[in-house]
Amino acid sequence: MVQLCSIEQAVDDVLARLPDHIHMGLPLGLGKPNPFVNALYRRVAQLPERRLTIYTALCLGRPPLGDGLQKRFLEPFVERVFGDYPELDFLADLRRDQLPGNIHIQQFFMQPGSLLNSATAQQDYVSSNYSHAARDINAAGLNLVAQLVASHAEHPDRLSLSCNPDITLDLMPMIARRRAAGETILMVGQVHNDLPYMPGDAELGIGTFDLLIDQKDNTTLFSTPNMPVGFQDHFIGLHASTLVRDGGTLQIGIGSMGDALTAALLARQADSDAYKALLAEVNLSQWAQLIEREGGIEPFAKGLYGCSEMFVNGLLVLADAGIVRRKVYPDVTTQQQANAGTLDEAAQTDGISVHGGFFLGPRSFYDRLRELPQSKRLEFNMTRISYINELYGQEELKRLQRLDARFINTAFTVTLLGAAVADQLEDGRVLSGVGGQYNFVAQGHALQGARSVLLLRSWRESAGDVSSNIVWEYGHCTIPRHLRDIVVTEYGIADLRGKTDAAVIEALLNISDSRFQQGLIEQAQKVGKLPKDFRLDPRFTENSPQRLQAIQARHPNLFPEYPLGCDFTEVERDVLRALNWLKSKFKLSEVLELGKAALDAPEPAAFPEHLQRMQLSKPEGLKEDLYQRLLLSGLKATAQAQQRK
């Protein structure tokens, strides 16, 4: 029977009932009960005879404010968006490599880029597939699970795992077996008032928890504001949208490339003529057979089923638009009838249109989920990660459900031989983690009619240096080249499945930026992977940002900067554009150090609201004067770019 208690009482009980070494499992992302975690962390830090190991992933913290212009921009925005969100105390100590000696934090996925310089985090990182995390955590000796949950007045005897049933549901059979063998394993829950109550598999009896903190959490939920979608990502999303087959299955991840894909699918559905006109100008003739065979460009008559470890905002937007609406059913017979079109109308109401393992997104996403009527929320089944990320276990049913699946994920580098990099730098430091990417790539090969699609910006610019993201070699890979399938950049589509090395190289050259093509060709020829007389098809020798930007300018309505909504004010959007432009063009530290303020800055009167927002209306001293000139230069450059669209 569940015991109601305060946070401190829960900590007392945990310390009294568990052995000296506490092995605590926490959900990744949003589902952590931060106040309880902080209380236990502080208590154990003062008890050198006790040990605490936390097993988790994606520990969410406010973005670092930095200094200079970045800090001036972020400080009020972070305060507005994150409010009184309680930071994890251990996260600050982890970043500074100052964890107490008796405490370890083992993560299998990190908030992207946030812990690159933490030796402690890098050393305690566990490289594991998302679907293997429950197995590995259990084997490590898990004896405590703590989770944020949702409650509903109409269901007083139940709680919902809401945003994070992913690993918890997979752990529960393991916990039951160990408890039956006499082990003590505690489950602690805390209700958050704003967490959407998700029905279905995420619902558990209240007695599942040993301790339930009787003080509901009313603090701000962590959210991920929608960021701007640039022209590169929009063209990537456009190309990828042609590979999605009506009546199929869709998995997408978080980020601007996923948002861009969502925007393109919305246009394909609701603005078919404009969508097709844009495709005609981009000229997809070289991939016409692939698109006809694997995807399509017509509106969705049957709709899609979402099967994604992360239930992202884009999937909910697509559901609201009537694109994600194909339903699947929990048994083989019913699913066979649905596939054959013989399922009666009454049975159709019980179907699921999205299976998700966890969710995280902007505040508007949480609000929308809470606002949905129960009947609609039942179509979104938050469930265990093993069901979504693997085929084994109910394989016949999953194959019937996951028709024409498109598993669409991102990479930051791809080699010319088709290996992809998404989690780690060459020097071994981990940016994020493998997560479920390998699982979905493997399913793309294992399921009939399925494809794995990796989205990639072909080039990047930082501090004025432009480099290719398609390279000859890289010191690490997330997806090995024997699992290569489809790669999409802003310049097109490379179908790599079953191709020879020479054909793979050529396909990737076709979608690389023309500034780097000759150098890549020479590298491949040097080691004998391309013939000495190889010549690139002239159709692909004009892959330039300028060509794409000119097309964008002729179709402005299909390139929304914030296709899924925006948390920034209009002035903040202008400032963010300017700051991103400055970051791409200059090393600001050098500009400040060398006093390079000879920029073509407009008069301050041209942007009074922007200067006020950045507290630079009346600069004091040389540094603030330089900040003002830099900001005005960025505002001028990006305002001109906006006008050209």
CATH 3.30.300.30 describes domain 231-548: no
Which SS3 state, helix, strand or coil, does residue 565 take?
A: coil
Instruction: Tell me 28's DSSP state.
Output: S
Give the C-alpha distances (Å, rounded to integers) separating 496 from 422, 440, 485, 506, 521. 18, 17, 5, 10, 17
Residue bearing tokens 């406010």: 62
Where are any strands of DSSP class E within 45-92? 51-56
Q: Exposure of 197 by Cβ count < 10 A (0-12 exposed, 13-18 middle, 19+ buried)?
A: buried
- Cβ atoms of 145 and 187 within 8 Å: the answer is yes
Give dist(CA 240, CA 295) in Å, integer.
9
Give dist(CA 436, CA 132) in Å, integer.
10
Whole-model pTM?
0.94
Helix (H), strand (E), coil (C) string for 207-233: HHCCEEEEEEECCCCCCCCCCCCCHHH
pLDDT digit string, tens, across residues 597-633: 445 678 888 999 999 999 999 999 888 888 888 899 8
Residue 346's CB is within 10 A of a number of other CB atoms, namely 7
Q: Angle 67-69-75 (CA atoms, 0-180°, nearest 5)? A: 70
Query: What do you get for the CA distance between the two ends of the chain, in Å?
Result: 63
pLDDT of residue 215: 85
Query: What tokens does 469 get?
Result: 């993201």
Let me know if the fold of 3-64+87-217 is the same as that of 231-548.
yes
Give dist(CA 393, CA 386) in Å, integer.
8
- Cβ atoms of 84 and 73 within 8 Å: the answer is no
Give dist(CA 292, CA 245) in Å, integer.
9
Based on its alpha-carbon atoms, the radius of gyration of the chain, rounded to whole angstroms, reads 26
Q: Which residues pair with 149 in a beta bridge?
A: 191
Q: Which residues pair with 103 in a beta bridge?
A: 52
Contacts of 319 (CB under 8 A, 6+ apart): 306, 325, 353, 354, 379, 380
Categorise residue 206: left if φ over 0, alpha if ψ from -120 to 50, beta otherwise.
alpha
- Cβ atoms of 30 and 221 within 8 Å: the answer is yes
Ordered DSSP codes for 597-609: -------GGG-HH
Q: Angle 288-292-297 (CA atoms, 0-180°, nearest 5)? A: 90
pLDDT digit string, tens, across residues 159-213: 999 999 999 999 999 999 999 999 999 999 999 999 999 999 999 999 999 999 9
Domain range annotation of the chain: 3-64+87-217, 231-548, 570-644
272-282 vs 545-554: helix crossing angle, rounded to 10 = 150
Residue bearing tokens 């049957």: 302
Parts of the chain with a pLDDT under 50: 593-598
For 270, list phi and psi in degrees, rounded to 5.
-105, -20
Residue 95's CB is within 10 A of a number of other CB atoms, namely 16
CATH 3.40.1360.10 describes domain 3-64+87-217: no
Residue bearing tokens 């502080």: 42
pLDDT of residue 589: 54
